[in-house]
Structure 1
Amino acid sequence: MRKPYIYIIGASMLLAPTSMWAQASLSPRTAVALSNTNGQKAHHSKLKAQNSNLKTLYVTIDPARTSWQALGLTPVALHANTATVRLSIDALQQLAKQEGVEYIQLTSGTSQMLNLARQEAGTDQIHKGTSLPQAYTGEGVVVGVVDAGFDYMHAAFRRPDDGQLRIKRVWEQGTQTLDGATAPTKYGYGIELNTPQLIEKAQGDSDTNSHGTHVAAIAAGSDAYKDGAYVGNAPDADIVLVALDLNESTNADISNAVQYIFDYADEVGKPCVVNLSLGNQDGPHDGTSTFDTMTDAMQGPGRLIVGAAGNHRTDAFHIDHTFASTADAPLRTFAKYKVAPSNSVSGGTIEIWGEKGTDFTVDIAAFSTVNKKDAV
């Protein structure tokens, strides 16, 4: 017998009113979004996306019962029976009722996280070729970075010998505009900077954020400052950047970003590594979320995705439990009502996940840390 389990993640309780939708299974945030179609925002989810009122989300279908064409959908990133699509909330409401739509997932936005620097990874020895057949500096490889806050003109993204720009493509997913730049054809939103002239004209995606520059420089920087003392892990690699809209981007937008970078690598016939120094706490944390399974499917020979170790790696932010039988004593725990463990601001979400096909119940009690008599 398969053992039931429960996952508890995050900060405030997210209850998904899924019973009103007869066909598709909905992720908690999708169900809440559909229950708030009167134009008002739920406290935990932004329903309005960019200027076009569209959201990027995951949709899984049963091809024996329907097709993307029959549903009137154009997949962007497609793997097996799951695709990323762009829909308005109104269109999503209708899609949830269609025959053959198995699962719809709308996720929250992202937060940025940093990984370890070159010195702690032993990269210097790789650059020198110590105990290796040759030195490895990223030459002939594409390094993609999905983030926000890029300075395209930074010295780390130029060749030290001739000053040529090493950034080959940029996709800004937000609402920016630039004369001569249009959305990448396959993806249909944001703007693509696909020439050195457009990249230099744009200069960067943000005047106030530098996180992406920091991360991309660690991954592939070639700055000659202090004789290259601070070069990145792959200083000779070609670079492709995707700048997220941190206020609106979903996990599906990140999947699109990874696919965009791999598309370029396929175009030029080079191996590729994509770095994600960002994340959120959505999902069951067991590798079965739609983002996890699609990310796994994207990888293969010459295609790797690297995720940051995570700024929350030492925080008590997640608990799981396996019940041996229905007679087991219940799991009891406290969860702080906070956006993140490192954040003092209250709010956020708690997600509770169980094994598919297994019933379980959850009792919720609020406990005041200010006045312990206020527990309910």
Structure 2
Amino acid sequence: MALGVVVVRGRFAERLPPGSAEVARALPGFVQVDRSAAPVLHVKAGLDARALATESSRAPLERELVGIGVQIQGRVGEIASLRVPAAALEALARLPEIAWLKASHAYRVLNEISTSSAQIGSDQANTTFTKGAGVIVAMVDTGIQWTDHDFRNADGTTRILGIWDQTLTDPVHPPPAGFSFGAYYPRGDIDAALAAGGSLLTGDGHGHGTHVTGTAAGNGLETGNGVPAGTFAGVAPEADLLAVRVFDDSGTFCANCDLTAAVQFISQTAAAAGKPWAGNMSLGTDIGAHDGTDPDERSIDAAVGPGRRGAQMAIAAGNSGNRDRSSHPNHWEGPLPASGSSVSDTFNLTYTPNSGSDNDHVWLDVWYKGADSATVSMISPTGITVSAARGADSGIVCSADGAIQVDATNGPDPLNGD
């Protein structure tokens, strides 16, 4: 995460003070930042294992974080999710218990389309396995339509143990115990609303989460149009359900939403119930290394990794493979070069300029091995080329197209060295 940024105004560059509000607001859109007058950044932190060893060793760190205005949103293993006022970022980085910091990023829903050729064989699974009885199926998605009969028992009561809606604040439903944001709807409140024909603020106006949950664990009782109830059941129709909502009705990952906290909540809820759990995240992003070192990936590993029986998380994958250059011109694809050789590619960036001046920034997320090198060149509409190799800054080049600068000064990623 860069602590400083160069902002171009005409022919001049001004180095802004690290941690300033203007720096935070200038971060790219995929970074989770509350861009208000006093910006708050969502940050993943690697914590020193010695600071987590015992309750007495954790307490001083928690006091230090509170003292500088930092709020812990969730923690799994050595990975913590933090809400950090921009003014406190440098103080946080100086704490000896902090091994590294990375900006949190947003996600998008995946597995948007089901086709007849993508059958999962739930009918065979239901006759071969135990139908999920005694297991919790947990979904991290756009929410769940809790009134749907597929998610109820035969007597009309809910199969849902609880819904943590991270996207909203509900004065009647506080966050789950141990968490500081969102609204939690326990099974008892869902049953009460069903019995009274009432309503809850949470739901699934998008539909993706309900669709995925039905595929995984619907019992088929919502079946209509003359088809016998139970005909179209999911893989685990007798499982208990748990839902964490991290997308709003438009499918946008909410500003406060956090996957590390979601994994912590699922793991703790299952442990309290004394049941194994199988989770699903049909979501993803093109941002990051995609090699298992991302903080959210490491959070999942800490919850379901070796030695942790009765815990599993499935992740959707593959949708971006259809993002060919003809329909997504900003999505790069090409052959991997052999060792000792090089590869180059040129493509046109498409974007809508911002109103005003000196505020059009293009962010490229390019990953390659730390031992390799890369050079990024920007060619303006009139043919002016500005280049910078890894670790370099081109400086400002003034042209008829405006001031152009290529900043490739980001250092190696602290988690994989690439």
**TM-score for the superposition, normalised by structure 2:** 0.67
Q: What aligned pairs does 1:75-86 form with structure 2 within 5 A after superposition?
A: 77-86=74-83
Q: Which residue pairs with 1:272 in the alignment?
A: 277
Question: 1:92/1:367 Cα in 2 relative to 1: closer, same or farther (>3 Å)?
Answer: same
- The correspondence for 1:331, drawn from 318, 343, 348, is 343
Q: Distance in 2 between matches of 1:175 and 1:252?
A: 10
The percent identity for this pair of structures is 22
Contact 1:169/1:194, CA 8 A, preserved across alignment: yes
Question: 1:17/1:297 Cα in 2 relative to 1: closer, same or farther (>3 Å)?
Answer: closer
Q: Which residue pairs with 2:323 in the alignment?
A: 315
Amino acid at match of 2:148: H
Q: Distance in 2 between matches of 1:348 and 1:287?
A: 26
5+ residue gaps, structure 2, are: 6-17, 325-330, 352-359, 386-418
Matching of residue 191 in structure 1 with residue 204 in structure 2: no
Matching of residue 295 in structure 1 with residue 306 in structure 2: no
Q: Distance in 2 between matches of 1:363 and 1:215?
A: 40
Question: 1:36/1:220 Cα in 2 relative to 1: closer, same or farther (>3 Å)?
Answer: same
Matching of residue 111 in structure 1 with residue 113 in structure 2: no
Please list the CA deviations of residues 184-217 of structure 1 after superposition, one character each: whole Å capped at 9, or x if unmatched: 1212111111133256355463473222111111
Contact 1:337/1:347, CA 8 A, preserved across alignment: no
Q: Which residue pairs with 2:46 in the alignment?
A: 60
Q: Distance in 1 between matches of 2:209 and 2:166?
A: 14
> Could you say which structure has the larger radius of gyration?
2
Deviates more, 1:261-270 or 1:304-313: 304-313
- The correspondence for 1:98, drawn from 88, 95, 100, is 95
The offset of 1:335, in angstroms, is 5.2
Matching of residue 240 in structure 1 with residue 242 in structure 2: yes
**TM-score for the superposition, normalised by structure 1:** 0.74
Amino acid at match of 1:261: I
Question: 1:55/1:39 Cα in 2 relative to 1: closer, same or farther (>3 Å)?
Answer: closer
Contact 1:218/1:231, CA 8 A, preserved across alignment: yes
Q: Distance in 2 between matches of 1:239 and 1:272?
A: 9
How much is the aligned-residue C-alpha RMSD, in angstroms?
3.8
Q: Distance in 2 between matches of 1:194 and 1:183?
A: 11
Please list the CA deviations of residues 202-250 of structure 1 after superposition, one character each: whole Å capped at 9, or x if unmatched: 5463473222111111111123212223221211110000111454547
Contact 2:46/2:99, CA 8 A, preserved across alignment: yes
Question: 1:171/1:80 Cα in 2 relative to 1: closer, same or farther (>3 Å)?
Answer: closer
Q: What aligned pairs does 1:194-209 form with structure 2 within 5 A after superposition?
A: 194-198=186-190, 200=193, 202-203=199-200, 205-206=202-203, 208-209=205-206
Question: 1:349/1:359 Cα in 2 relative to 1: closer, same or farther (>3 Å)?
Answer: same
Q: Distance in 2 between matches of 1:158 and 1:250?
A: 31
- The correspondence for 2:165, drawn from 151, 166, 172, is 172
The offset of 1:298, in angstroms, is 1.1
Q: Which residue pairs with 1:10 in the alignment?
A: none
Q: Which residue pairs with 2:288 in the alignment?
A: 283
The offset of 1:304, in angstroms, is 0.4
The offset of 1:114, in angstroms, is 1.6
Q: Distance in 2 between matches of 1:229 and 1:51?
A: 54
Q: Which residue pairs with 1:215 in the alignment?
A: 212
The offset of 1:151, in angstroms, is 1.4
Q: Distance in 1 between matches of 2:119 and 2:126?
A: 14
Aligned length: 330
Q: Distance in 2 between matches of 1:176 and 1:137?
A: 35
Amino acid at match of 2:259: I
The offset of 1:39, in angstroms, is 6.7
- The correspondence for 1:182, drawn from 174, 195, 198, is 174
Contact 1:145/1:276, CA 8 A, preserved across alignment: yes
Higher relative contact order (Cα pairs below 8 Å, separated by 6+ residues): 1
Please list the CA deviations of residues 273-332 of structure 1 after superposition, one character each: whole Å capped at 9, or x if unmatched: 1110111122112222222222122103110001113422333546685773xxx34331
Amino acid at match of 2:168: T
